[in-house]
Amino acid sequence: MNSKFSKISLIAAISQNRVIGNENKLLWHIPQDLQRFRALTSGHPVIMGRKTYESIGRPLPNRTNIIVTRDRNFAANKCLIAHSLEEAIEIAQKHLSDFEEFQKVKNSVPSSGVDPNEIFVIGGGQIYQEAIKFAHKLYLTIVHQDFSGDAIFPEYSKFKQEAYKYETKAENLSYTFIDLLK
């Protein structure tokens, strides 16, 4: 796999104790987080596990959707299928789209900026665990509370450089948008 020409980024909303979900469901609803996710990933390939795709229930618009599954018979309308993370990254590299039309939207979103060659890994726990070794950047929403759940974001202490940080509160939750680099 040659990731020389593209950058792998993980984007996730996590609790203080790194929980990202339970029984294939998110544990909170934060409209500003969803808006940030949509704006940052639009126009880019997104890689997700099968369970994440099934929890979303449809392909995400304005993105190349790539689903990683071991099931050789799995098919999803308007999605590309890969049977390993490495295969998904290779597919994503071939489908990097034109960045220009999304630049205006991206500039209005709280973040450190998006590279036109960025490939986003959007979950779930297993895919994040595998992908973190390839990642150069994390776009995290950290909810300032502990949650119980069965999906956990991997340990990320190697990402030490803060490229962006913004703390806010909504829906009775306080949270931080933070972009971290290795």
The domain covering 7-181 belongs, at the CATH homologous superfamily level, to Dihydrofolate Reductase, subunit A (3.40.430.10)
Question: Which residues in 15-32 are b (16+ Cβ under 10 Å) and which e?
Answer: beebbbbeeeebbbebeb
Q: pLDDT-derived band of residue 114, with 50, 70 and 90 as boundaries? A: confident
Whole-angstrom distance, CA of residue 106 vs CA of residue 101:
10
Q: Give the residue with greater pLDDT, 101 vs 145.
A: 145
Q: Give the residue with greater pLDDT, 109 vs 134.
A: 134
What is the maximum span of the chain, computed from C-alpha positions, in angstroms? 44
Query: Which helix H or strand E contains 163, and what residues bound it?
Result: strand 161-170
Task: Please tell me the predicted confidence (pLDDT) of residue 5.
Answer: 53
Say whether the peptide bond before residue 124 is cis (omega within 30 degrees of 0): yes
Q: Does 99 score more than 60 pLDDT?
A: no
**Structural domain spans, the chain:** 7-181
Task: Please tell me the predicted confidence (pLDDT) of residue 103.
Answer: 53
- Give the dihedral sign, CA 123/91/61/101: positive
Average pLDDT over residues 112-122: 88
Whole-angstrom distance, CA of residue 56 vs CA of residue 176:
23
pLDDT digits 0-9 by tens, 6-59: 799 999 999 999 999 999 999 999 999 999 999 999 999 999 999 999 999 999
Do 5 and 113 form a contact (C-beta atoms < 8 A)? no
Task: Please tell me the predicted confidence (pLDDT) of residue 106.
Answer: 55
Average pLDDT over residues 66-77: 97
* DSSP letter assigned to residue 110: S
Task: Please tell me the predicted confidence (pLDDT) of residue 24.
Answer: 92
Average pLDDT over residues 46-73: 97
Whole-angstrom distance, CA of residue 65 vs CA of residue 77:
10
Q: Does 3 score more than 50 pLDDT?
A: no
Whole-angstrom distance, CA of residue 13 vs CA of residue 114:
18
pLDDT digits 0-9 by tens, 138-181: 999 999 999 999 999 999 999 999 999 999 998 789 999 999 99
